[in-house]
């Protein structure tokens, strides 16, 4: 029977993936054109970021019509062709459902503005203070107050993101029925999975001012969120095992995730949480420059692995998405150890317990683009925060230095298909600049190179299919306090997997707490790696070691290597 736990999801950012009509924007036909590549890579699901009608103020997360495709991305026929062609290659399509808010250009909001009380109740309106202050001190995630004033109404509406993204009122049963119908609509068109955007913010608690923060504690994992998710699932995809659902959980807690993603809680299949991607923040503040905290990274990854596992709940595991900087620039090395570090980072994620998500370009080690002027940025969050940093008195150069590290545009540059000027993404003018290193870092040059990052990712994906221990094994950290090694063990029905990674450039000698006699090396990023209990780990070394239940600890054995472990 189909089991989503053997699957790998590939995230396509349609705007930057492949442009089939030379307008500088990627489109659905472009995704269809690349399906053979994705099938070759071995992925099972494609998650596509929103391509619905939208003013594109937040790159499609501001939806004006949930049922219509923005003509810039194509037509319904293009979508159906994509589903059909993907299906032939055993790839299923997951859509992004942005249900916390709509664009203010959505017909519902426009009717609300025009005074229709039915639609007014689709959104969240409050009176402000007598002195013209907003209803409370909550902050928008993109900077500034989370409330916008509408003079004709004399009221404020809530927008946790941009002021053109008005929060929906989930307390209203009509809103929930509308959104349920949207899910059903896309199921009928061929979607086989959904990613629900910031879905743990849909149930607002009390609208108090926050003495200690920006208000998130009043609306994060709110009072009715589990009930709402349960209701949504029961009235749509239910228990159909082919549907995969993932909730994007902003600032969530593990206790809530046991329920969101519990095997038998009837909510979602899995969750994205982001705590491991705040290890280069100061608290919740991302617009700062600090080195990442390796110990904290391990503590968070490991506690989520063991916590979710012991509660029979499932993780989505990932480094990259359209909101995150490129991982090789962030936790790896863009220089001499570029390939080794990119492979090591891929290995860390793909051997964890959970569903790996890989973001377009990660499989070839794409880097941050290194933009140097505001005119190169497109993201509303980056542009707002540049001004906020400047208003705080930061020098322009320092503000740019922060954007270069943290901007969401770092991941949104065009997919690098080949070494041509526009990276093979478009023959027109790309909507956002191409990273100059596309002449060196591209799919074409890695396809035939057996040592490439791309081949390493392909091998990682295949490991999950071939070895049950990768998909179903439990999780135990190994030597969790070591200052430079990230290692863990997975076990399933007597099979054992040991994954060892040197997270730094400095070579290290490491003694594995597990006796490695009888292990074989399934995959490594250095030639000649052999399992020895005391390992010499060169820069960013990564080894996937395996012993099958059948192999006695004293006899070398186990399954033959899947991909001649480059050693």
Q: State the catalytic residues.
A: 197, 248
CB of 385 to ligand TEU, least distance (A): 9
Return the number of the residue (82 or 249) whose C-beta is nearest ligand TEU: 249
- Whole-number minimum distance, CB 408 to ligand TEU, in Å? 6
Query: Nearer Cβ to ligand TEU, position 56 or 452?
Result: 56
- Angle between helical axes of 225-234 and 173-189 (0-180°, round to 10): 40
Q: Which is nearer to ligand TEU, 362 or 495 (CB)?
A: 362
Maximum pairwise Cα distance, the chain: 80
Q: Give the shortest CB-366-to-ligand TEU separation in angstroms.
A: 18
By C-beta, is 261 or 499 nearer to ligand TEU?
A: 261
| Residue 260 token pair | 């969101």
> What residues does 155 pair with on adjacent strands?
150
Neighbours of 282 (CB within 10 A): 11
Neighbour tally for 198: CB within 10 Å: 22
DSSP 64: S
For residue 50, the minimal CB distance to ligand TEU (Å) is 9
Among the listed residues 544, 484, 537, 538, the one whose alpha carbon sits nearest the alpha carbon of residue 516: 544
Structure tokens of 21?
């009509």
Residue 340 contacts residue 541 (beta carbons within 8 Å): yes
DSSP at 519: -
Nearer to ligand TEU, 27 or 62 (CB): 62
Residues in contact with 168: Cβ distance below 8 Å, sequence separation at least 6, in sequence order: 99, 100, 101, 102, 122, 123, 124, 175, 179, 202
504 neighbors 484 (Cβ within 8 angstroms): yes
Site residues (CB under 6 A) for ligand TEU? Answer: 58, 61, 98, 141, 161, 197-198, 248, 250, 286, 322-323, 381, 408
| Residue whose token pair is 């270069």 | 404
Reading phi first (left if > 0) and then psi (alpha if -120 to 50, else beta), residue 202 is in alpha
Backbone angles phi, psi at 478, to 5 degrees: -120, 130
Least distance (Å) from ligand TEU to the CB of residue 431?
A: 16
Residue whose CB is nearest to ligand TEU in the complex, by number: 61
Least distance to ligand TEU, CB of residue 84, Å: 28
**Cβ–Cβ under 8 Å, residues 183 and 236:** yes
Dihedral sign computed on CA atoms, order 111, 115, 116, 118: positive
What is d(CA 543, CA 530) in angstroms, rounded to the nearest whole number?
A: 9
Q: Between 166 and 441, whose beta carbon lies closer to ligand TEU?
A: 166
Return the structure tokens found at 349.
């994620």
Q: How far is the CB of 193 from ligand TEU (least distance, A)?
A: 16
Nearest distance from C-beta of residue 329 to ligand TEU, angstroms: 17
CA distance 226 to 430: 41
Reduced to 3 states, what is the DSSP secondary structure of residue 359? strand
Cα gap 403→406, rounded to integer Å: 5
């Amino acid at each position: 029977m189909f089991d989503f736990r053997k699957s790998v999801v590939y995230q396509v950012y349609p705007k930057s993936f492949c442009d089939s009509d030379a307008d500088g924007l990627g489109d659905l036909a472009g995704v269809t054109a690349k399906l053979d590549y994705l099938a070759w890579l071995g992925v099972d699901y494609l998650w596509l970021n929103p391509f619905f009608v939208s003013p594109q103020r937040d790159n499609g997360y501001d939806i004006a019509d949930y049922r219509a495709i923005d003509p810039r991305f194509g037509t319904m026929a293009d979508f159906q062709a994509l589903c059909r062609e993907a299906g032939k290659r055993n790839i299923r399509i997951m859509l992004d459902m942005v249900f916390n808010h709509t664009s203010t250009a959505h017909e519902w909001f426009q009717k609300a503005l025009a005074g229709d009380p039915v639609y007014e109740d689709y959104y969240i309106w409050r009176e402000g203070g007598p002195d013209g202050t907003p209803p409370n001190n909550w902050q928008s995630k993109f900077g500034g107050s989370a409330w916008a004033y509408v003079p004709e109404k004399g009221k404020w509406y809530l927008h946790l993101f941009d002021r053109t993204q008005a929060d929906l009122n989930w307390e209203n049963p009509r809103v929930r029925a509308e959104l349920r119908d949207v899910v059903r609509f896309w199921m009928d068109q061929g979607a086989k999975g959904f990613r629900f955007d910031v879905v743990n913010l849909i149930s607002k608690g009390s609208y108090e001012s926050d003495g200690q923060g920006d208000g998130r504690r009043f609306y994060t994992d709110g009072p009715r969120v589990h009930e709402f998710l349960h209701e949504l699932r029961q009235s749509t995809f239910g228990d159909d095992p082919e549907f995969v659902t993932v909730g994007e959980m902003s600032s969530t807690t593990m206790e809530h995730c046991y329920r969101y993603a519990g095997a038998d809680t009837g909510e979602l299949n899995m969750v994205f949480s982001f705590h491991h991607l705040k290890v280069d923040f100061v608290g919740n503040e991302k617009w700062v420059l600090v080195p990442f905290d390796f110990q904290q990274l391990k503590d968070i990854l490991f506690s989520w692995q063991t916590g979710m596992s012991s509660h029979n709940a499932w993780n989505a595991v990932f480094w990259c998405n359209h909101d995150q900087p490129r991982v090789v620039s962030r936790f790896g090395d863009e220089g001499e150890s570029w390939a080794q570090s990119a492979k090591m980072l891929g290995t860390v994620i793909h051997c964890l317990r959970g569903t790996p998500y890989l973001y377009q370009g990660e499989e070839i080690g794409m880097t941050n683009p290194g933009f140097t002027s505001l005119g190169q940025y497109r993201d509303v969050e980056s542009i707002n925060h540049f001004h906020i940093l400047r208003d705080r008195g930061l020098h322009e150069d320092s503000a740019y230095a922060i954007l270069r590290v943290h901007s969401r545009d770092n991941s949104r540059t065009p997919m690098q298909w080949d070494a041509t000027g526009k990276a093979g993404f478009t023959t027109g003018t790309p909507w956002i600049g191409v990273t100059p290193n596309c002449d060196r870092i591209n799919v074409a040059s890695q396809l035939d190179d057996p040592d490439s990052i791309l081949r390493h990712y392909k091998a990682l994906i295949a490991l999950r299919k071939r070895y049950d221990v990768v998909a179903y094994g439990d999780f135990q950290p190994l030597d969790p306090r070591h200052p430079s090694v990230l290692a863990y063990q997975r076990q399933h029905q007597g099979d054992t997997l040991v994954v060892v990674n040197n997270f730094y450039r400095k070579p290290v000698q490491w003694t594995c707490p597990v006796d490695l006699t009888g292990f074989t090396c399934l995959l490594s990023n250095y030639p000649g790696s052999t399992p020895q209990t005391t390992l010499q780990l060169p820069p960013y070394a990564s080894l996937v070691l395996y012993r099958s239940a059948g192999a006695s600890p004293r006899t070398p054995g186990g399954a033959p290597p899947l991909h001649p472990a480059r050693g």
